[in-house]
Chains A and B, each alone.
Chain A
Amino acid sequence: MKRRDFLAATAAAALPLACRPRSAFPFGGELVGPNLALGHWLKGGAFPEPERFEPISTLIVGGGVAGLSAAWRLAGGGLDDFAVLELETEPGGTSRSGQNHVSPFPWAAHYLPVPDRGNHAVLRLLKECGVLDGFDAKGDPVFAEEATVRAPEERVFAHGQWWEGLYLRAGASPEDERQYHAFFREVDRWAAFRDRRGHPAFSIPRSRCSDAPEARALDQLTFAAWLDQRGLQSPRLRWLLDYACRDDYGSRLETTSAWAGLFYFAARKQGPGEDSRPLLTWPQGNGFLVDHLRRASGDRLRCGVAATAIRPDRDGVLVTAWDAVNQRRLGWRARRVIFAGPQHVARHVVEGLARPAAARLRNAPWLVANLTLRGRPKEPTFPLAWDNVLRDSEALGYVAATHQSLRDYGPTVLTWYRPFAGADCDGERARLRALDWPACARMVLDDLRPAHPDLAELVTRLDVMRWGHAMVRPTPGLLWDPEFLALARPFGAVHFAHTELSGLALFEEAQDHGVRAAEEVLTALGRPGGSWR
């Protein structure tokens, strides 16, 4: 080999080293839970028996909002002999939150519309949290200023700039305006609706809603079809309503029940013709409420513990579980069990449970990213709001964690949301699971680039949560199906609590089911008291 060839060969060999791309991102981050591996391993099934079954009055399986609310209600009823098992390392389910050196931040659910005076359980919780200031002269609740979303609440990015509010008024035609008002007149009509017993068509939680046939009929068609029937074709209006479906249900106009579409708007009205209820929020989102709820469980909350089998027998319920932290088998003999997990898990874990309606439930997958920024992006147009939505995006935009903590300058954490809203949930879930961290980070930055070209330089960390089963979809025909509604009924001594049982993924629904299930248990155990609902 001549010397020149040798040099060339050496250079060629060294080249890939020299040119090896540095990490494509100037910041770190990771995929954080939920624990997909453990969750799916449980489905696989055969577990050896534990050495002994510890007697317990009530075992709550699932430490999301439904399970924690059940525990909160049991403790409130004076029943202390219970435990809560949570598969993940942190409780709260999709109301989980995180915290870093900049700010606490939500991992999914991040607000609560202020409850009306009839939503007793939520009012009780908010009072305990110190958020309910009292009641006004009309008897309506008054909430703490610092917990109510600070103005400006929302803005939308369209035509290369940010605009105040979600509905883009700039450039709207008279026909757009007419249809916008026509839609909200329909909403007002439904907000004013009362059945013969005086029940409203739409209220939160949905257990307070009227089952009158004219209201239930709305569940028989898609929101898109309902809009078509009324000639509501304005692209702006339909964007807004589609956004609402993606935001609250992880589905589209074409796959959402019209009942659910109207519920989103009418249940939040203070009354016909009035504004929507204000929202309550905290830097950590609904993690604030979880932090309070979990106190009722104290050390009876066992994280990293997965129930592997729930077997009703004559003396109660045998529950076996796997303690993933200490790598050991656990067993309980419970008088009552509250299963506060989703139905697709119940199907595998609760022996003998055969409810075909469970197979009809569809859960939308979500991708949530938390971006920690060293400073604020340049904002030449309408300033940073709490909720920041990009109109031309599959994602929902982001909320700013520091907005509610009043920090207008310096580092912040932005929580970015994207529902995988395609019609085929399983296909969407497979797409989500195939995304590794770089693919997620690229997706987030690409999505936000039109609005924030300078964002990548400001990010110091980007963490991602892949929620495989983030929220139940209110598909047409589901919500008032008697077999679906019967999923909430007890199976022997096993009671059920989960937001899924409402067909709507809302904090209030999860809480309502938790409280209901706990009250069923209290009654069964001979401790009936007044209802908190």
Chain B
Amino acid sequence: MDEGTQPELRAPLLFLSVLLISSCGLIYELVAGTLSSYLLGDSVTQFSTVIGVYLSAMGLGSYLSKFLQRGLARRFVDLELAVALVGGFSAPILFQAFAHTHAFRVVLYGVVASVGTLVGLEIPILMRILKDQIRFKDLVAGVLTLDYIGALFASLLFPLLFMPKLGLVRTSLLFGLLNAAVGLWSTHLLVSQLGPTRMIRLRCLAVLAILAVGLAFAGKFTLAVEEEIFADEIVYARDSEYQRIVLTRGRGSFQLFLNGNLQFSSADEYRYHEALVHPAFGVKPDAQRVLICGGGDGLAVREVLKHPSVREVVLVDLDPAMTDMARRQPMVRALNVAALDDPRVRVVNADAMVWLQETAVAPFDLALVDFPDPNTYALGKLYTARFYRLLQRRLTADAVISVQSTSPLMARESFWCITATMESAGLKVRPYHLAVPSFGVWGFALASKRDFAVPTRVLPGLRHLSDEATAAMFAFPKDMDRVPVEVNRLDNQVLVHLYAREWRRWS
């Protein structure tokens, strides 16, 4: 093929593709940087390393471009398709790698380097295609100007438009599509240099189709079927043997969901966990051995460890994936102040009820029961009279128990069912409540085998609870006051039915 004899190329339109491909390139870089800082935390390091690897890979690509000699137009179209595939699927690949492999960083930098290398090849090759059409000084000026302007578009639109509206996965797939579209368009613009175009156009269409399918099934591809449900970006998702664990982040806080149910928001979890933990210590200030059932996020442990009397904490949580995440995921670990790695804490991954039934341990003098709400039979059993009897067998005579017991406002009968069930198991129960904005009005039950007075003193220096606020939690206004309900037993599991019926009204 003799380039010199070809008819004139459509240079201005090719300049437009420079604008598009540079936007795409920057988007992939931003996607990788954002995603890695969400998943790994420490955004300064993540962005610095991603940008560093990306730019150096672009340098490598530019260097390698000199080895491409012939058929540059064809190479350029293929290059666009390669960028479209690797860049477009970069976010899904990275989410999957995070969820299913232990080598996330390897995959991350591998993807960033690949995209960077391919993007680095683009501009040199395009300039060589255009070099005979346009004077060199105009070529350099035009290409670089549009390259930088494209970067500006990308960097402005990414945080303002694409991230909030589409999320990472759809954004990366969408720009992959754009890249592939540039490829297809180039077969038109560079038709004079391409020779037969049917095969190459078919290739373009195939890549476009693959990316379109990816976009259509973004929900399944990603970890984030919930992207529709969750308002915020998913930064961690994992299907463990027992449940689906999802962390989302947005507007200055992050949230944990188990099977789609909110467990905490970092914005107000301190209210919940202070209320779960400190009133019990108000009744039993010298507690040394503490049992926590559930609470694998480590946030209750964080509050427990504020009490200097505590010598040993045993946390029994079903799901090792949950306690591992609480130890390793940087955002969660920062929130629980690495509580699970404290030498006083022992983590047991077991079904708390089976553990209580079958494991002989020295008695505890304080127990915190922090299970998800009773929306399945497997969870409902953890709120039965039998559970509270088994629990008491592992406690000292004057031990104090605190139980998260759903919302007394939204699920009033469920809340009082838990109180009545604890009473039927021989406990003296004093229910209380407070407002946790993420949840609404939330309830707990404080209990002991012996009669006890409502606590009036809490640890100083807490964020929410004061002595006065603590006492106030034990008064129930009329719309949340006690209602007669059946006791929840293993053989009736009335709570699961009550709970499902009551919460249906709010969903």
Once bound together, how far apart are the Cα atoms of A153 and B492, in whole Å? 9
Asked if B377 is at the interface (CB within 8 A of a chain A CB), the reply is: yes
Asked if A149 is at the interface (CB within 8 A of a chain B CB), the reply is: yes
CB neighbours of B492 from chain A (8 A):
151
Of the A-B pairs whose beta carbons lie under 8 Å apart in the complex, a sample of 7, sorted by A's number, is A145-B490, A146-B490, A151-B492, A152-B493, A406-B351, A409-B241, A409-B378
**One of B66-74, B78-86, B112-120, B379-387 at the interface:** B379-387
B490 touching A409 by the CB < 8 A rule?
no
B378 touching A408 by the CB < 8 A rule?
yes
CB neighbours of A146 from chain B (8 A):
386, 490
A383 touching B384 by the CB < 8 A rule?
no
CB neighbours of A153 from chain B (8 A):
491
B378 touching A145 by the CB < 8 A rule?
no
CB neighbours of B353 from chain A (8 A):
406
- Report whether over half of chain A's contact residues are helix, strand or loop; otherwise say mixed: loop
Q: Lowest 8 CB-CB distances: which A-B pairs, in order?
A: A151-B493, A148-B491, A408-B378, A150-B490, A145-B386, A145-B490, A145-B489, A406-B353
Once bound together, how far apart are the Cα atoms of A408 and B377, in whole Å? 9
* Closest partner residue, chain A, to B389 (CB atom): A145
Asked if B318 is at the interface (CB within 8 A of a chain A CB), the reply is: yes
Q: A151-B491, A278-B491 are in contact. Are A406 and B377 (CB under 8 A)?
A: no
CB neighbours of A405 from chain B (8 A):
354, 357
Asked if B242 is at the interface (CB within 8 A of a chain A CB), the reply is: yes
Once bound together, how far apart are the Cα atoms of A406 and B489, in whole Å? 13
CB distance from A384 to the nearest CB of B (A): 9
* Closest partner residue, chain B, to A149 (CB atom): B491
Report how many A-B pairs have Cβ atoms within 8 Å. 50
Q: Which of A134-173 contact B (CB under 8 A)?
A: 145-146, 148-153
A407 touching B377 by the CB < 8 A rule?
no
CB neighbours of B354 from chain A (8 A):
405-407
CB neighbours of A409 from chain B (8 A):
241-242, 318, 351, 378
B491 touching A408 by the CB < 8 A rule?
no
Once bound together, how far apart are the Cα atoms of A152 and B318, in whole Å? 21
Once bound together, how far apart are the Cα atoms of A150 and B494, in whole Å? 11
B381 touching A150 by the CB < 8 A rule?
yes
Most buried by A among B354, B491, B496: B491
Q: A145-B385, A145-B386, A406-B351 are in contact. Are A383 and B493 (CB under 8 A)?
A: no
A145 touching B241 by the CB < 8 A rule?
no
CB distance from B353 to the nearest CB of A (A): 5
Q: Which of A325-356 contact B (CB under 8 A)?
A: none
Asked if B376 is at the interface (CB within 8 A of a chain A CB), the reply is: yes
A407 touching B351 by the CB < 8 A rule?
yes
A12-40 contact mask (Cβ, 8 Å, vs B): 1 or 0:
00000000000000000000000000000
B384 touching A145 by the CB < 8 A rule?
yes
CB neighbours of B491 from chain A (8 A):
145, 148-151, 153, 278
Residues of B within 8 A of A (CB): 241-242, 318, 351, 353-354, 357, 376-378, 380-381, 384-386, 389, 489-493, 496
CB neighbours of A407 from chain B (8 A):
351, 354
Once bound together, how far apart are the Cα atoms of A405 and B358, in whole Å? 10
Bin the interface of chain A by size: 10 to 19
* Closest partner residue, chain B, to A280 (CB atom): B491
* Closest partner residue, chain A, to B318 (CB atom): A409
Once bound together, how far apart are the Cα atoms of A148 and B493, in whole Å? 12
CB neighbours of A383 from chain B (8 A):
376-378
Q: Which of A99-145 contact B (CB under 8 A)?
A: 145
* Closest partner residue, chain A, to B357 (CB atom): A406
CB neighbours of A151 from chain B (8 A):
377, 380, 490-493, 496
CB neighbours of B318 from chain A (8 A):
409
Residues of A within 8 A of B (CB): 145-146, 148-153, 278, 383, 405-409
CB distance from A481 to the nearest CB of B (A): 39
A148 touching B490 by the CB < 8 A rule?
yes
Q: A145-B386, A146-B386, A383-B376 are in contact. Are A406 and B381 (CB under 8 A)?
A: yes
Most buried by A among B351, B357, B378, B490: B490
CB neighbours of B351 from chain A (8 A):
406-409
Contacts beyond the supplied A145-B491, A150-B490: 5 A-B pairs with Cβ under 8 Å:
A149-B491, A150-B381, A152-B493, A408-B377, A409-B241
CB neighbours of A150 from chain B (8 A):
381, 490-491, 493
Once bound together, how far apart are the Cα atoms of A409 and B376, in whole Å? 13
* Closest partner residue, chain B, to A152 (CB atom): B377
Once bound together, how far apart are the Cα atoms of A488 and B139, in whole Å? 111
Once bound together, how far apart are the Cα atoms of A146 and B387, in whole Å? 10
Once bound together, how far apart are the Cα atoms of A146 and B390, in whole Å? 10
CB distance from A218 to the nearest CB of B (A): 32
Once bound together, how far apart are the Cα atoms of A146 and B491, in whole Å? 8
* Closest partner residue, chain B, to A153 (CB atom): B491
Once bound together, how far apart are the Cα atoms of A329 and B353, in whole Å? 52
CB distance from B359 to the nearest CB of A (A): 13
CB distance from A215 to the nearest CB of B (A): 31
Once bound together, how far apart are the Cα atoms of A407 and B358, in whole Å? 11
CB neighbours of B385 from chain A (8 A):
145
CB distance from A373 to the nearest CB of B (A): 14
* Closest partner residue, chain A, to B379 (CB atom): A408
Most buried by B among A152, A153, A278, A408: A408
Once bound together, how far apart are the Cα atoms of A436 and B69, in whole Å? 73
CB neighbours of A145 from chain B (8 A):
384-386, 389, 489-491
Once bound together, how far apart are the Cα atoms of A145 and B492, in whole Å? 10
* Closest partner residue, chain B, to A279 (CB atom): B491
Once bound together, how far apart are the Cα atoms of A152 and B386, in whole Å? 16
Most buried by B among A145, A146, A149, A405: A145
CB distance from B322 to the nearest CB of A (A): 14
Once bound together, how far apart are the Cα atoms of A145 and B386, in whole Å? 7
CB distance from B390 to the nearest CB of A (A): 9
CB distance from A336 to the nearest CB of B (A): 42
CB distance from B376 to the nearest CB of A (A): 7
Once bound together, how far apart are the Cα atoms of A383 and B384, in whole Å? 18
* Closest partner residue, chain B, to A402 (CB atom): B354
Once bound together, how far apart are the Cα atoms of A278 and B496, in whole Å? 19
CB neighbours of B493 from chain A (8 A):
150-152
* Closest partner residue, chain B, to A376 (CB atom): B241
Once bound together, how far apart are the Cα atoms of A148 and B491, in whole Å? 6
CB distance from A149 to the nearest CB of B (A): 6
CB neighbours of A148 from chain B (8 A):
489-491
* Closest partner residue, chain A, to B387 (CB atom): A406
Once bound together, how far apart are the Cα atoms of A145 and B424, in whole Å? 12
Once bound together, how far apart are the Cα atoms of A409 and B242, in whole Å? 8
CB neighbours of B384 from chain A (8 A):
145
* Closest partner residue, chain B, to A143 (CB atom): B491
CB distance from B36 to the nearest CB of A (A): 33
CB distance from A110 to the nearest CB of B (A): 16
Once bound together, how far apart are the Cα atoms of A146 and B377, in whole Å? 15
Once bound together, how far apart are the Cα atoms of A151 and B492, in whole Å? 6
Once bound together, how far apart are the Cα atoms of A146 and B388, in whole Å? 12
CB neighbours of B496 from chain A (8 A):
151
